[in-house]
Structures are given as structure tokens and as C-alpha cells.
Amino acid sequence: MLKVRNIHTYYGGSHVLHDVSLDLEAGQTVALLGRNGAGKTTTINSIIGFVPPRAGSITFKGATITGAPPYTLAHMGMGLVPQGRRIFSSLTVEENLRLAQRAAGRRNGWSLERIYATFPVLQERAKSGGTQLSGGEQQMLAIARALATGPDVLLLDEPSEGLAPLIVAEVGRMLAALKREGLAMLLVEQHVALAISVADVVYVLNKGQIVFSGAPAILQQNSAMRQQYLGV
């Protein structure tokens, strides 16, 4: 579904990603872990076209997409839940969702009915403005907005960031439900337990390099590696 091969990404003269490769198969949940500043968001930015890699290649559903702009990727079925949610706070919940549906222009976007059945809290808050929502509600809206575009792959950048433990657990249940529906997800997280609970495969980034890839259980058992690269 998504293949990242040996990418190198820079911000100006600063070389941030060094030979990063990863694979995401249809229906899989892949977690990308690493400390703050490891290069997780830069990996997402490279895939979604915000910061095209200078070397290496990325393919999505068999097509080369290296350096393709974000709107092209959205049309092709790549959905993004950005770090920090970035919902439109001047719009209501429903306006945020309708805007995403229209912008993507894809036929298989989730309907409002389907979104509200999956996220009942968003139906209760449908007419509320973005700023009136709690952090957890904003995160649910950010995820729902990406689903409204009808993605085949969902990229999530730290969906648990800044949320209270009970709400993190709720986000975890939501991700597990999306996984059961067969949605492929690339989950960037600093919350290791959350990532391990839903991921089929885990990658660990350290200083822009992949230092581990494998089954979550292996990372779970290797406390030295968790301590060294994740600080937990």
C-alpha cells in the first residue's frame, strides 16, 4: 500500500532523515515511535508532500508519489491527522466535516451519518465551534475530518498528545475500531503503550534513522532498547 525507500529529507541545509525505509500493507497498523525531535513528523511530511525528500522514493498503491503535492495525495486516498489537530476553530464541527468532504472530492468519503454513528460525541457537538471543544473532542474531530475524505491510508501524528489518560484510552479504542474496519494506518506516537496496543509492526526512529523494526512484542520485551530510544 505504502512503501518508503531510503529517503533523505532536509530542512534547508539540515539533514534530518537518513535513509529511512518503511512499509505499510493494506489493513495494517504500523507505529512509528521515537523521542521528541527524532524525525517522526518529518517522515509524515515527506510522505504527504509537505517536505519532499531529496533522495529515495515513496510509492502509494503502486504509483510513485515522491514529491507529489499534498492535494494530489489526498485525491489518491491518503488522509492526514496532523500533529496539534489543526481543526478550523472558527467553524462548527459539522462545517469542519463538510469542508473536508468537499475538499477531497472523493466518492468514498465517510457520510455525516457514518461519522456521527462512530463518534456520537461529535453529533452532540455538531453545532459547536472548534474552540468550544475539549482536547479529546478536537482530536476526535481531527480524525473524523480525515475519514470524511475517504482515505485508504490514514497518517496520524501523535493523536494522544496533550490528552488526559482516560481520553488517550478512548483514542486507543477508536483506533482499534478503525483497524477492525480494515483501514491502513501509520500511527506516529510518543505514547509507547498506546502504539504497542494497536500496531502490527513497530518502527523506532532515533536521530533520523530507523533503529528498530519488528513485532510490537519484541519491543515490549526489550526494556534496554525502550529506555535508550524512547525513554520509557
Judged by the rule CB under 5 A, the positions of this chain that interact with Mg ion are 40-41, 83
Binding segment for ligand ADP (CB under 6 A), chosen from 33-41, 64-72, 139-147, 216-224, is 33-41
Q: What are the distances in angstroms from CA 20 to CA 7, 48, 117, 183?
A: 5, 15, 38, 23
- Which range, of 8-16, 132-140, 170-178, 222-230, touches ligand ADP by CB under 6 A? 8-16
Closest CB to ligand ADP among residues 133, 154: 154
Distance between CA atoms of 152 and 129, rounded to whole angstroms? 28
Q: Does the footprint of ligand ADP cover residue 37 (CB under 6 A)? A: yes
- Asked if residue 40 binds ligand ADP (CB under 6 A), the reply is yes
Are 60 and 78 in contact, with CB atoms under 8 Å apart?
yes
Q: Which candidate, 98, 127, 99, places its Cα nearest to that of 111?
A: 98
CA distances from 182 to 2, 40, 42, 46, 105 (A): 15, 24, 26, 24, 22
| Residues 74-89 as b or e (16 or more Cβ within 10 Å = b) | bebbbbbbbbebebee
Query: Contact 162/171 with Cβ under 8 angstroms?
Result: no
Q: Judged by CB under 6 A, which of 13, 36, 166, 180 binds ligand ADP?
A: 36
Does position 42 interact with ligand ADP (CB under 6 A)? The reply is: yes
For ligand ADP, the binding residue among 2, 4, 7, 16 (CB under 6 A) is 16
By CB under 6 A, tell whether 41 contacts ligand ADP.
yes
In what helix (H) or strand (E) does residue 73 lie, and over which residues does it extend?
helix 70-76
Q: Which is nearer to ligand ADP, 83 or 197 (CB)?
A: 83
Nearer to ligand ADP, 93 or 204 (CB): 204
* Near ligand ADP by CB under 6 A: residue from 2, 24, 29, 34: 34
Q: Cα separation of 108 and 101, whole Å? A: 9
Instruction: List the interface residues with ligand ADP, window 186-215 (CB under 6 A).
Output: none
Positions touching ligand ADP (CB under 6 A) are: 11, 14, 16, 34, 36-42
